[in-house]
Amino acid sequence: MGKAITTTRAQESTNAIERMYITMRHLFNRGFYKPNGVSGEALKNALLQLRPEIYGSVAEEKAELNGLIYVLERLPEGIEQCSFINLTSDEGYGISHIDPIVPPKRRRNCYRIDDEQMNIEITRGRSDIYDILTHLTFLFIESEKICKRVLITDTEKTIRDWTKLEAAVQKEELTQAEREIALIHTANILGRSFEEILEVYKKFSTESNPDRFLNVIYWLGKLALDEEISGEKRAVTFSALLRERLGHHIHGERWANNIKEVLTKNNLMHRPIHIISANMHSVMNSLFAKAALKTEFPNTDSLEIFEALSSSGNAALRKKVTDLAEKNGMIIMDDTSGTNIDVQIFDTAKIKINNCSYEFSEEDVDKKPVIFVMDYAFGEQAYETIDELLKPYTTKKNNVSLINVDSVSIMGKAGILEGGKGDLMIPSAHIFEGTADNYPFKNELCAKDFEGYGLKVFEGTMVTVLGTSLQNKDILKFFHKSTWNVIGLEMEGVHYQKAIQSASKIRKSIGEDVKVRYAYYASDNPLETGSTLASGGLGTTGVKPTYLITDKILKQIFTT
C-alpha cells in the first residue's frame, strides 16, 4: 500500500475557488437560487473552506466586522432588508420614477423596487456577477451567525439582547444613553467587545442615518430568523434579459462606437493614438495642473499640488485645472453606454505654449499624439471594452477605418505580495488564476525607470485573479514562492493583454508593433494581517506612485 496522499491548504483553496465559480455559473444559467437551499449551501461551504483574507473571521463564531464594512460599501444601501435580490441587465429602470442607489465603492445602478426587493443592474460582465454573489454569500453567512446566537434552541423565542436591539431599532431617535445600551446588547449578539462595536458603529454612521450599524445588524438577523421560524425563504434571481445578453459585448460595443464616432468627427482616427487605462485625474493633472495653479502654488513641488488636488475640499482647484485642459484640446466623454467607463481625449496639437508641463517637438500636426484616457474597467470587462475599441470602425456611410493605436498603457492598483501600500509592481507577464494561461509581453516600462524615488519596485509576473474577494494566504504564498515568480495580483491584466494580442497579432486591426506598458501600485498586501483591502483605503499614500507612473508613461509618449 502506498502512502495516503494529502492535499495542501493551497490545493484545497484552489479547489474551493473552482467550486464557487462552477456553482455561480450554474446558478446563473438556472436563473435563481435560495441562499438556504442546496446551491446556496454549496456556495457558503466553499467560501468557509476558502476563508479569504478580506473576510477575516468569517469562518469563526463571532461576527466579522471589517469584512462587513468592505462588503456593504460595494452593495446598495438597504440590501440587508431585502429578501429578494434580482440581478438584471440594463432594462430601462433609469426612465422610471425610482432613483438609482449607487454603492460608494462600486459603480453600479441598483433599484429598491419595494420593501422586499432590490434590483442590481449588471452592465460590466461576469466579473460583476461573481463579485456580487461572493459578497452576498458573505452576508448570508453573517446573517445566519446572528440567527444562531439569538434564537433559543428548540424554541421560537429569542434571547433578551435581541429583544432590546429590536426595541432600539424601532425607536425614531435614540439618546446617547439608549444608543450605548443598544450597542452593548449588539456586542453580546455579535460576540465582540463594546470597544470594537463602537468603532465600527462610527464607520457605518452617516449624517442621514447615524444608527445605520444597528439597523444593518437587526435586519441581517431578522431575515434569517424569519426564514428559520416562519419559512419565509430569501431568493436571488437573474433576469431573462441578463442571461440572454451576457457575453455579447452589448455595452462594450456601444461604448467603443461612441468613442470612435467622436475621434472620427474630430479627425483624430489617423493620428498616433495612445490609450491609457487610469483614473480620471492623473493624466489631466500631470499635463495641466502646474500651469493652471501657478498663482496658488508658485514655488511648490508637483507632488504637493497633486496632494492638494486629491483633497475632497479642493473642488475649486480641480475646476481650474479642468477648465485649462478643455481650452487646450481635452474632450470629456461621460459614459452613456452602461459600461460606467468615462473617457478623456487629449489632442496635443491644440495645447498652447506654456500651458503644459511637458515639452514635445513642433512636428507635423498629423504626427502629434492623441492621448486617450479611459477609466478603470472591472475584471472581464477589460477584454470586452478594449476588444471592441480596437476593431475597425464602420461609419454610417459604410466607410471602414482602422484606429491608429501606437501604444496601450495600463496603470492600476493591485495587491502586492512583498512590500507594502504604495510600492510599485512592473510585470513582465500575466497569468490567469485557475488555468495555465499565460501572457508574456515586452513591457516598455522597467524597474530601473522607478528607482531613486523612495518607493520599493518589484519586477516579475502578475496573476489576474477571478475576484479579489476570493484570495487567501495559502494560494498567494504558493504563487509567490513557486517558479511562477508572482509579485502581485489584480483583475484585468490578462483580459487587456488578450484583447491587445488578438487585435495586433491575429486580426491585424492595429499595428503588430504596438507598444504596451503595465505598472501597478500596491493598494494592499493580502499576505499581511491588517493590510488587506478591508483595512481601508490608501489615502494620500497613493498620490506619489499614481503620479510617478503617469509621469513615466507620458514622458515615453512624448519622446517616441
d(CA 77, CA 67): 16
Sheet holding 84-88, edge to edge: 32-33, 235-238, 84-88, 117-121, 110-112
What is the pLDDT, as a whole number, of residue 362?
64
User: Is the pLDDT confidence value at 539 over 60?
Assistant: no
Please list, residue by residue across 433-465, b when 16 or more beta carbons sit within 10 angstroms of its beta carbon and e when fewer do.
Answer: beeeeebebebbbebebbeeeebebbbbbbbbb
Q: Which amino acid is present at 39? A: S
What is the pLDDT, as a whole number, of residue 471?
79
**Which tens digits make up the pLDDT trace of 342-360?**
999 999 999 998 898 888 7
pLDDT, mean of residues 147-160: 92
pLDDT, mean of residues 443-464: 95
The shares of helix, strand and coil residues in the chain, as percent rounded to the nearest 5, are 45, 15, 40
pLDDT, mean of residues 23-35: 93
Instruction: Name the band, by pLDDT with cuts 50, 70 and 90, for residue 73.
Output: very high
Q: Which residue has the higher pLDDT, 411 or 536?
A: 411
Closest to 279 measured CA to CA, from 305, 251, 306, 300 = 306
Residues 382 and 499 sit within 8 Å (Cβ to Cβ): yes
Fold of 247-559: Rossmann fold (3.40.50)
What is the separation of C-alpha 284 from the centre of its chain, rounded to a whole number of angstroms?
Answer: 22
DSSP, collapsed to helix, strand or coil, labels residue 407 as strand
What is the pLDDT, as a whole number, of residue 316?
94
Q: Where are the alpha helices (DSSP H) in 334-486?
A: 381-389, 473-481
pLDDT, mean of residues 371-383: 95
d(CA 78, CA 208): 13
Q: Is the pTM higher than 0.85?
A: yes
User: Is the pLDDT confidence value at 397 over 80?
Assistant: no
**Which tens digits make up the pLDDT trace of 39-59?**
999 999 999 998 888 888 888
Angle at which helices 282-292 and 302-310 pack, to 10 degrees?
Answer: 120
What is the pLDDT, as a whole number, of residue 12?
86
What is the pLDDT, as a whole number, of residue 10?
83
User: Is the pLDDT confidence value at 395 over 80?
Assistant: no
What is the pLDDT, as a whole number, of residue 534?
58
Instruction: Tell me the torsion sign for CA atoms 130, 132, 135, 138.
Output: negative
Closest to 333 measured CA to CA, from 280, 391, 274, 411 = 280
550-to-190, 279, 518 alpha-carbon distances in Å: 45, 10, 11
d(CA 13, CA 59): 14
Take residue 273 and report the three cell numbers written for it: 493614438
Take residue 462 and report the three cell numbers written for it: 502578475
Q: Residue 388: CB partners within 8 Å, gap ≥ 6? A: 249, 252, 253, 255, 256, 257
Take residue 466 and report the three cell numbers written for it: 477571478
Q: Where are the alpha helices (DSSP H) in 439-542?
A: 473-481, 493-501
- DSSP codes of every residue in 534-554: GG---GGGGHHHHHHHHHHHH
What is the pLDDT, as a whole number, of residue 533?
57
**Which tens digits make up the pLDDT trace of 140-150?**
999 999 999 99
Take residue 315 and report the three cell numbers written for it: 473642488
Residues 464 and 432 sit within 8 Å (Cβ to Cβ): yes
Q: Which residue has the higher pLDDT, 533 or 8?
A: 8
What is the pLDDT, as a whole number, of residue 264?
94
Q: Which amino acid is present at 542? A: G
Q: Residue 314: CB partners within 8 Å, gap ≥ 6? A: 308
Q: Which residue has the higher pLDDT, 364 or 240?
A: 240
Element holding 145 (H helix, E strand): helix 126-150
**Which tens digits make up the pLDDT trace of 271-306?**
999 999 999 999 999 999 999 999 999 888 889 999
Q: Residue 309: CB partners within 8 Å, gap ≥ 6? A: 281, 285, 289, 317, 318, 321
User: Is the pLDDT confidence value at 555 over 90?
Assistant: yes
Element holding 318 (H helix, E strand): helix 315-327
Take residue 464 and report the three cell numbers written for it: 489576474
If you average pLDDT over every residue of the chain, what do you get?
91
User: Is the pLDDT confidence value at 536 over 60?
Assistant: no
d(CA 177, CA 296): 47
User: Is the pLDDT confidence value at 3 over 80?
Assistant: no
Residues 484 and 463 sit within 8 Å (Cβ to Cβ): yes
What is the pLDDT, as a whole number, of residue 246?
86
**Which tens digits make up the pLDDT trace of 466-506?**
887 777 888 888 888 888 889 999 999 999 999 999 999 99
Which percentage of the chain shows pLDDT scores above 90? 73
pLDDT, mean of residues 156-183: 95
Instruction: Name the band, by pLDDT with cuts 50, 70 and 90, for residue 7.
Output: confident
Do β-strands 515-524 and 424-432 pair in parallel, antiparallel, or remain unpaired?
antiparallel
N-term to C-term CA, the chain: 66
Would you give the DSSP letter of residue 193?
-
Q: Would you kindly state where each structural domain of the chain is located, as residue ranges?
A: 9-243, 247-559
Which percentage of the chain shows pLDDT scores above 70? 96
Strand partners for 521: 413, 424
User: Is the pLDDT confidence value at 380 over 90?
Assistant: yes
Take residue 252 and report the three cell numbers written for it: 462594450
pLDDT, mean of residues 521-548: 74
Instruction: Name the band, by pLDDT with cuts 50, 70 and 90, for residue 411.
Output: very high
The alpha carbons of the chain give a radius of gyration, in whole angstroms, of 25
d(CA 331, CA 344): 6
425 phi and psi angles, rounded to 5 deg: -130, 125
